């Protein structure tokens, strides 16, 4: 809390009595949590979903008709969907709860005139806290005394390097002291602290329904209206033809059940579960199943910089001496790597590396193929660079003993160390900001050249250090410049390129400097020569909204501003994914349509707020996840095409057959049997269909477009009409040939739908059994359909009769026709789509198959 109390006694801190009074008034220094919703309330919210209501209605109908198999499937799907929704709702509470774990468990505080250690939860406004290197800041503090204090604020602000903090400045709860020491006064605790505000922002950030949920919700409402109208029409027509009202009602309800693809949620659930399983094998942990599908609809990918696009570790990449440039290669803390440059530079570079080892307070130790560092990350990077030139350089501190030093501070912006050899020879080394250090050699002709080179390095996003040494009794000499950067990850550019190829717009959102952010964005391909950069102030004023299509890089942003950026894109109908790893990314991860957190370097808060966690921090997995999402969405559309085509065919047969002289083309039990076979196992098998490579060469459809958009309605009408036509034709042929008409129509209608399923298969790249589930399920369904007309118990149950061989031949010939027509049309369409793609300069066609 921020309210003030009794004045603090200088040097002694609060008294225990006063601290207890403030604690009672303001509460403990903990992140607030919202009161949890009851389980009954959570379940009730899920059951109010339109698709769940539709399923419940279908459950009542099929149960009333005695179809216990379909009833069991539907009830299982309802339970599964409700459970998924409850888990989704609980994610926010978990994200807030993890903030408690991030908070410092203990703090050193002045109480009653002495320094004591107590739980951070007991801190109150006015307490005086002691900070040292390695401490987690326990509350929001104002520094009253600071000695060479540096704080790692990456988790809160996105800064890639520790920040210098001096007396009178604030440090935020949850940040980490990397260097120096300080005393500070508590100014905000609990909900008012930095962590508390982020917790409140996470709690206030509502969850948006996924694109698939929105599409299926619209579809469910449409199906309810259409199905009710068709069932009513069938009921009226049956009564007008003289059928009994009870029989007509049973027929209408049976047709309604057949027209509703009640196995759709099962298909969705299976597709999502299989997608999550495949993702887990690629080290991607799906925390919420619909997140897999959502990735397939992503049109904007907003990425954090530090630790996401970059390695999250400071690394020396370039050096400059009067002899020229050198490039430093190798992983951030890896023992491998080299320093490449003209061999004539060897002595000059060795001297520069010697100086940065001497003027350095960090330490590194070998740990297998990498280095472990202790101290300021920038100084650790300098030692690693020296080791890449020659690991023996790390031992120069033993040869040159330090006899004097002036620590780095914000005023001098430099660090000075004095060293002495056993022979008595002395050496002074100065490193720091070029504009300060180069003044020591301003009289030399190299100084102006060094300033120009330093400016060029800074414009490329490097943090530049200048190094000067002063030999015993001699003038100051320029040793050179060192360019330090948090380098882009090796796979970042490939990921950005893959996203662009898939029609996804990449963005960079960071709390770092604009120059650094733009340099990284250009290196990985997010930004081009004319790309716009906006800072947090622009976002705070709302000026970014009108220019959102033109801005590729956002710098100096706060957590709430990242949320505003995502909101601006979502307001334009875009599906936004956000990647991040810090506490400051958590609200944006929650607000985005899908949040992707880094599992290795990422904070637990970010992981809990995200939908997808990359366990190995491999950005390529994002592209894999997008492919999985598109695969799932395409499979769901394919199932809808298959199921609704069959449902339409059944409606057409019931409606039109009486007008051509077939009074009773199907019995209610036969309709339900066909529905169970075609929508059951074969329908669910569509959820496991393999990826069509064409899906990653075109942009995803708008989330506002119907799941039946993109020409799918027309293809459903064609498929339904073909199946309906051959079924009625079979009935007419049966009547002419004196075959049992109902059995012929029943067999033709069911087998034609199964043939269509085979025609709609996705392209196969292998012959693995795992990709043959659809064929196997269709074969099983065909066997059961044939059994229904040949096995006497099923014949008695369904009202079918045995047929002669000529009738079977006619049924099979007519049943394969719709599937054959659809398969030929699909092959021609695929060839036509591939034709322009092979010509120079052509692009991928938008949309979905």
- Residue 732: both structure tokens together: 């007419």
Q: Binning pLDDT at 50, 70 and 90, where does residue 31 land?
A: low
Rounded distance between C-alpha atoms, residue 439 and residue 434, angstroms: 8
Q: Which residue has the higher pLDDT, 823 or 276?
A: 823
What is the structure's pLDDT at 119? 84
Q: Which residue has the higher pLDDT, 245 or 454?
A: 454
C-beta of residue 635 within 8 angstroms of C-beta of residue 691: no
Strand partners, 370: 334, 367
pLDDT digits (tens, 9 = 90+) for 242-276: 777 776 776 676 666 666 675 666 566 666 667 77
| Maximum average pLDDT range among 63-67, 285-289, 363-367, 388-392 | 388-392
CATH number for the domain formed by residue range(s) 292-311+488-617: 3.40.50.1000
Q: Of 547, 626, 640, 544, which is closest to residue 593 (Cα–Cα)? A: 626
pLDDT at 114 over 60: yes
What is the structure's pLDDT at 101? 46
List, in order, residues 6 or more apart from 776 with CB less than 8 Å away.
Answer: 685
Query: CA-CA distances (angstroms) from residue 172 to 136, 153, 290, 808?
Result: 10, 8, 35, 79
What is the structure's pLDDT at 54? 56
CA 50 to chain centre: 27
pLDDT digits (tens, 9 = 90+) for 588-605: 888 888 888 877 666 655
Q: How many CB atoms lie within 10 A of CB 280?
A: 12
Helix (H, G, I), strand (E, B) or coil at 102: helix
pLDDT at 88 over 50: no
Rounded distance between C-alpha atoms, residue 312 and residue 546, angstroms: 32
Q: Of 810, 826, 782, 700, which is closest to residue 296 (Cα–Cα)? A: 700
C-beta of residue 678 within 8 angstroms of C-beta of residue 646: yes
Residue 422 gets the label, from left (phi > 0), alpha (psi -120 to 50) or beta, of: alpha
Rounded distance between C-alpha atoms, residue 184 and residue 222, angstroms: 63
What is the structure's pLDDT at 213? 62
Answer yes or no: same fold for 292-311+488-617 and 316-485.
no
Across all residues in the chain, what is the average pLDDT? 80
pLDDT at 407 over 50: yes
pLDDT digits (tens, 9 = 90+) for 415-441: 999 999 988 899 999 999 998 999 999
Q: How many CB atoms lie within 10 A of CB 103?
A: 22
Q: How many CB atoms lie within 10 A of CB 132?
A: 12
* CATH classification for the domain delimited by 253-268+631-837, as one of 3.60.20.10, 1.20.59.10, 3.40.50.300, 1.20.1110.10: 1.20.1110.10
Rounded distance between C-alpha atoms, residue 201 and residue 578, angstroms: 16
Query: CA-CA distances (angstroms) from residue 381 to 331, 363, 370, 517?
Result: 11, 10, 12, 20
Please report, rounded to a whole number, the percentage of residues in the chain having pLDDT higher than 90: 28
Q: Binning pLDDT at 50, 70 and 90, where does residue 300 land?
A: very high
What is the structure's pLDDT at 516? 80
C-beta of residue 677 within 8 angstroms of C-beta of residue 784: yes
Q: What residue spans define the domains of the chain?
A: 16-204, 253-268+631-837, 292-311+488-617, 316-485
Q: Which residues belong to the active site?
A: 304
pLDDT at 716 over 80: yes
Pairing of strands 370-374, 363-367: antiparallel
pLDDT at 730 over 50: yes
C-beta of residue 584 within 8 angstroms of C-beta of residue 558: yes
H or E element at residue 327: strand 324-328
State the CATH architecture for 16-204. Distorted Sandwich (2.70)
Rounded distance between C-alpha atoms, residue 61 and residue 122, angstroms: 60
Q: What is the mean pLDDT of residues 700-704?
A: 69
Q: Of 646, 638, 756, which is closest to residue 690 (Cα–Cα)? A: 638
CA 767 to chain centre: 32
What is the structure's pLDDT at 223? 75
Q: Which residues of 702-730 are buried (b: 16+ CB within 10 A; e: fewer)?
A: ebeeebbebebeebbebbbebbbbbbbbb
Q: What is the mean pLDDT of residues 304-313?
A: 78
Q: Where are the beta strands (DSSP E) in 494-626?
A: 505-509, 532-535, 551-555, 576-580, 594-598, 612-614
Q: Where are the beta strands (DSSP E) in 525-581?
A: 532-535, 551-555, 576-580
Q: Of 623, 563, 618, 616, which is closest to residue 593 (Cα–Cα)? A: 563
C-beta of residue 610 within 8 angstroms of C-beta of residue 598: no
CB-side exposure of 198: number of CA atoms within 13 Å?
Answer: 33
Q: What is the mean pLDDT of residues 33-46?
A: 64
Q: Binning pLDDT at 50, 70 and 90, where does residue 465 land?
A: very high
What is the structure's pLDDT at 812? 96
pLDDT at 370 over 70: yes
C-beta of residue 137 within 8 angstroms of C-beta of residue 151: yes
pLDDT at 611 over 90: no
- The top-level CATH class assigned to 316-485 is alpha beta
What is the structure's pLDDT at 842? 34
What is the structure's pLDDT at 846? 39
- Residue 551: both structure tokens together: 């801005």
The torsion angles phi and psi of 364, rounded to 5 degrees, stand at -130, 145
Q: How many CB atoms lie within 10 A of CB 752?
A: 28
C-beta of residue 500 within 8 angstroms of C-beta of residue 623: no
Rounded distance between C-alpha atoms, residue 351 and residue 470, angstroms: 12
pLDDT at 517 over 90: no
Q: What is the mean pLDDT of residues 658-670?
A: 82
Q: How many residues does the chain have?
A: 849
Q: How many CB atoms lie within 10 A of CB 422?
A: 8
What is the structure's pLDDT at 8? 35
Helix (H, G, I), strand (E, B) or coil at 505: strand
Q: What is the mean pLDDT of residues 218-243?
A: 78
C-beta of residue 338 within 8 angstroms of C-beta of residue 544: no
Place of tokens 């560092």: 373
Q: What is the mean pLDDT of residues 58-70?
A: 62
Rounded distance between C-alpha atoms, residue 403 and residue 390, angstroms: 25
pTM tops 0.85 = no
pLDDT at 353 over 90: yes
What is the structure's pLDDT at 37? 63
Q: Binning pLDDT at 50, 70 and 90, where does residue 233 land?
A: confident
Helix (H, G, I), strand (E, B) or coil at 453: helix
Q: What is the mean pLDDT of residues 791-817?
A: 94
What is the structure's pLDDT at 70? 53
What is the structure's pLDDT at 610? 78
Q: How many CB atoms lie within 10 A of CB 216?
A: 23
């Amino acid at each position: 809390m921020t309210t003030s109390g009794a004045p603090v006694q200088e040097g002694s801190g609060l008294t225990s009595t006063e601290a207890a009074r403030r604690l009672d008034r303001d509460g403990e220094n903990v992140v607030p949590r919202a009161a949890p919703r009851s389980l009954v309330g959570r379940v009730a919210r899920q059951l109010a979903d339109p698709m769940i209501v539709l399923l419940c209605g279908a459950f009542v109908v099929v149960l009333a008709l005695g179809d216990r198999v379909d009833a069991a499937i539907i009830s299982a799907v309802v339970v599964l969907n409700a459970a998924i929704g409850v888990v989704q709702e609980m994610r926010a509470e978990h994200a807030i709860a993890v903030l408690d774990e991030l908070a410092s468990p203990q703090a050193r505080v002045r109480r009653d005139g002495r320094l004591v250690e107590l739980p951070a939860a007991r801190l109150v406004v006015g307490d005086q806290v002691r900070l040292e290197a390695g401490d987690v800041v326990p509350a929001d503090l104002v520094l009253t005394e600071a000695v060479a204090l540096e704080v790692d604020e990456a988790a809160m602000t996105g800064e890639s390097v520790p920040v210098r903090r001096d007396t009178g400045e604030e440090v935020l709860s949850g940040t980490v002291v990397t260097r120096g020491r300080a005393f500070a006064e508590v100014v905000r605790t609990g909900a008012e602290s930095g962590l508390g505000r982020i917790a409140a922002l996470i709690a206030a950030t509502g969850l948006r329904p996924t694109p698939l949920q929105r599409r299926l919700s619209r579809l469910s409402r449409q199906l309810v209206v259409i199905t009710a109208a068709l069932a009513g029409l069938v009921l009226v027509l049956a009564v007008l033809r003289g059928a009994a009202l009870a029989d007509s009602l049973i027929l209408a309800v049976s047709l309604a059940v057949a027209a509703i693809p009640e196995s759709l949620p099962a298909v969705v659930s299976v597709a999502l579960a299989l997608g999550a399983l495949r993702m887990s094998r690629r080290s991607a942990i799906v925390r919420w199943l619909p997140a897999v599908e959502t990735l397939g609809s992503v049109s904007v990918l907003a990425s954090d910089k530090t630790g996401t696009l970059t390695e999250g570790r400071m690394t020396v990449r370039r050096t400059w001496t009067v002899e020229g440039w050198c490039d430093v290669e190798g992983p951030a803390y890896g023992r491998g790597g080299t320093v490449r440059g003209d061999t004539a530079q060897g002595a000059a570079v060795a001297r520069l590396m010697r100086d940065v080892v001497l003027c350095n307070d960090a330490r590194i130790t070998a740990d297998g193929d990498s280095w472990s560092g202790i101290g300021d990350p920038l100084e650790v990077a300098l030692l690693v660079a020296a080791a890449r030139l020659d690991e023996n350089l790390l031992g120069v501190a033993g040869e040159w003993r330090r006899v004097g030093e002036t620590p780095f501070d914000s005023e001098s912006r430099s660090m000075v160390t004095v060293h002495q050899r056993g022979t008595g020879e002395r050496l002074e080394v100065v490193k720091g900001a070029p504009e300060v250090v180069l003044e020591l050699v301003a009289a030399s002709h190299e100084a102006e050249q060094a300033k120009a080179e330093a400016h060029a390095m800074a414009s490329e996003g490097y943090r530049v250090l200048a190094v000067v040494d002063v030999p015993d009794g001699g003038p100051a000499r320029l040793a050179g410049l060192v360019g330090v950067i948090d380098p882009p990850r090796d796979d970042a550019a490939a990921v950005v390129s893959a996203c662009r190829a898939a029609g996804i717009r990449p963005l960079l959102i960071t709390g770092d400097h604009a120059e650094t952010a733009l340099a990284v964005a250009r290196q990985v391909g997010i930004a081009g020569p004319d790309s716009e950069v906006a800072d947090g102030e622009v976002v705070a004023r709302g000026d970014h909204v009108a220019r959102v299509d033109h801005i590729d890089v956002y710098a100096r942003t706060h957590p709430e501003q990242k949320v505003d950026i995502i909101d601006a894109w979502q307001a334009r109908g875009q599906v936004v994914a956000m990647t991040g790893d810090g506490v400051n990314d958590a609200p944006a991860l929650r607000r985005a349509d899908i949040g992707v957190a880094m599992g290795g370097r990422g904070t637990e808060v970010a992981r809990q707020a995200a939908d997808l966690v990359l366990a190995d921090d491999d950005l390529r997995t994002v592209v894999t996840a997008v492919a999985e999402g598109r695969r799932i969405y395409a499979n769901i559309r394919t199932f809808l095409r298959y199921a609704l085509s069959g449902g339409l065919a059944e409606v057409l047969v019931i409606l039109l057959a009486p007008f051509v002289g077939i009074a009773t083309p199907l019995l209610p039990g036969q309709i339900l049997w066909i529905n169970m076979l075609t929508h059951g196992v074969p329908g669910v098998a569509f959820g496991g269909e393999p990826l069509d490579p064409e899906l990653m060469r075109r942009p995803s459809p708008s989330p506002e477009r119907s799941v039946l958009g993109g020409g799918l309605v027309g293809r459903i009408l064609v498929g339904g009409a073909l199946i309906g036509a051959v079924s009625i034709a079979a009935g007419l042929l049966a009547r002419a040939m004196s075959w049992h008409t109902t059995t012929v129509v029943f067999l033709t209608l069911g087998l034609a739908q199964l043939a269509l399923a085979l025609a709609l298969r996705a392209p196969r790249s292998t012959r693995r059994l795992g990709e043959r589930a659809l064929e196997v399920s269709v074969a099983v369904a065909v066997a059961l359909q044939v059994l229904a007309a040949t096995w006497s118990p099923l014949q008695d149950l369904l009202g079918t009769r045995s047929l002669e061989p000529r009738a079977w031949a006619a049924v099979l010939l007519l049943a394969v026709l719709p599937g054959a027509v659809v398969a030929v049309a699909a092959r021609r369409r695929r060839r036509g789509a591939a034709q322009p793609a092979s010509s120079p300069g052509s692009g991928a066609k938008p949309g979905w198959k």
